[in-house]
Chains A and B, each alone.
Chain A
Amino acid sequence: MNEQLIVEGLIRKFRFEEPVTPEIRRHIASSKAKNLKKILKKENKYGLFTGLAIMIFIAARKMGLTISFLQAAIVSGAVTVITAAAVVTGGVAGIDYVTDIFSEKKVVPVPEVKIPELNSAVQIKTPVSLFSFTGTEETSLIAKRATDIFYNKLKAERGEDNVFLSKRPGNKGYLLTGSVEKMTSGYVITAKIIDSGRGVILDIETTEIKSEKELYSGCTTLVKKISRNLK
């Protein structure tokens, strides 16, 4: 007789048998995880991670896999980390996607670039055509000297290539004309700057000097005043 049948026969005959009906077996199987959770909760030993590990452990057993609970815990830890990473990555990507779709594109203003003041020698400036200063007969010599001082000072201020001695008006740049008049107690120097393109007087400056000795300082002062109003 088959060994299995003999043993089972003995078990039955000597009343070791305690058969459990299929309905109860199903109930037992389905209550296993639930009651384990209850026990661990009573002992304050149940958490989300433990729950996940138990789920994996029991599922693996039902598939016929022999794994320890610690192995199930490691698997559940890895699953948790991977899931969390995927959720975070997906969430960030989703938010970016939604943001891109629904948000208006912001107009980024062009940053204002402050160009530092350059040395006058290299700064691009509007050219100035300097006309000889006029004067009466007795001031013609001083007017000529005033013209030379203006010429040299303007070249220093605006660069050599931007200042021209001229006899007839051009179409571009500024025109600088001036005069030296003899007064009872000195001289009056006048300088006038004109935008030749627009035909507009931009500035007129005057200064008084008591003698020819002050001509240089007077002309220098005027050049500075005029230069402030020029581009």
Chain B
Amino acid sequence: MKFSVDRGKAEFIEVYSDYYNVIFGAVCSRINSIDDAEDITQEIFLRFYRKMDEVENPRKWLFGTMKLVLYEYYRSKKPDSTDINDLINDASLSFVNGMRDLRILLGSILDDPDVFNNDDKNRIIFDLVAIQKYTLEEAAKEIGMSRDQVKYRYSLINRSILLTLKKKGVSNLEELM
């Protein structure tokens, strides 16, 4: 029996464990079949495993590859479709004028690692709890933390987002709601 674990495999397993729920959930929200979503998620992580050495930011890479694999999926399902990009649409297109600008601003804040204290775990907590509506307990189980740890981190993230919005000149948040 071989008792050694290569470092690359260990890193992959950690990234996989951190992002599997986030990616699978994101794929699910874009297609109707859970079986296809599972296959697509597998394909994304398989590609990640093969390219891992070249990847600097796993989250960015995984979401970028998700779009690519979804594109391939739609192409295989609907080869006649003229604009597949419509299927992977950008929600900001549904907003107009100032609201669209606000959405773009909020999107850029959510993409800013500084807002999450440059901690991937914080971003994953936010993805699971705020975006995908996991409970704190569920999120804690998936990322290997206690519920209290997740709750504490989540409160810090929310505060950081609001502070950043204020710094960008968006002060009357309650009115926006």
Per-residue contact bits, chain A 1-36, to B (CB 8 Å; 1 contact, 0 not):
101101111110111111110001101110110011
CB-defined contacts of B143 to chain A, threshold 8 Å? 61
Q: Chain A interface: which size bin?
A: 35 or more
CB-defined contacts of B24 to chain A, threshold 8 Å? 28, 31
Smallest CB separation, A39 vs chain B (Å): 5
A50 within 8 A of B: yes
A127 within 8 A of B: no
Q: How many residues of B contact A (CB 8 A)?
A: 61
Per-residue contact bits, chain A 144-186, to B (CB 8 Å; 1 contact, 0 not):
0000000000000000000000000000000000000000000
Q: Report Cα–Cα, A73/B140, bound state, in Å.
A: 22
A45 within 8 A of B: yes
Please tell me if the beta carbons of A6 and B13 are within 8 angstroms of each other in the complex: no
Please tell me if the beta carbons of B10 and A70 are within 8 angstroms of each other in the complex: yes
Q: Report Cα–Cα, A114/B138, bound state, in Å.
A: 83
Main secondary structure of the interface of A (DSSP, over half): helix
A60 within 8 A of B: yes
Q: A3-B162, A4-B155, A7-B158 are in contact. Are A58 and B17 (CB under 8 A)?
A: yes
Please tell me if the beta carbons of B106 and A6 are within 8 angstroms of each other in the complex: no
Q: Contact residues of A with B, CB < 8 Å?
A: 1, 3-4, 6-11, 13-20, 24-25, 27-29, 31-32, 35-36, 38-40, 42-43, 45, 47-50, 53-54, 57-58, 60-62, 64-70, 73, 77, 80
Q: Contact residues of B with A, CB < 8 Å?
A: 1-3, 5, 7, 9-10, 13-14, 16-17, 20-21, 24-26, 28-29, 34, 38, 41-42, 45-46, 49-50, 91, 94-95, 99, 102-103, 106-107, 110, 130-134, 138, 140-147, 149, 154-155, 157-159, 161-162, 173-174, 176-177
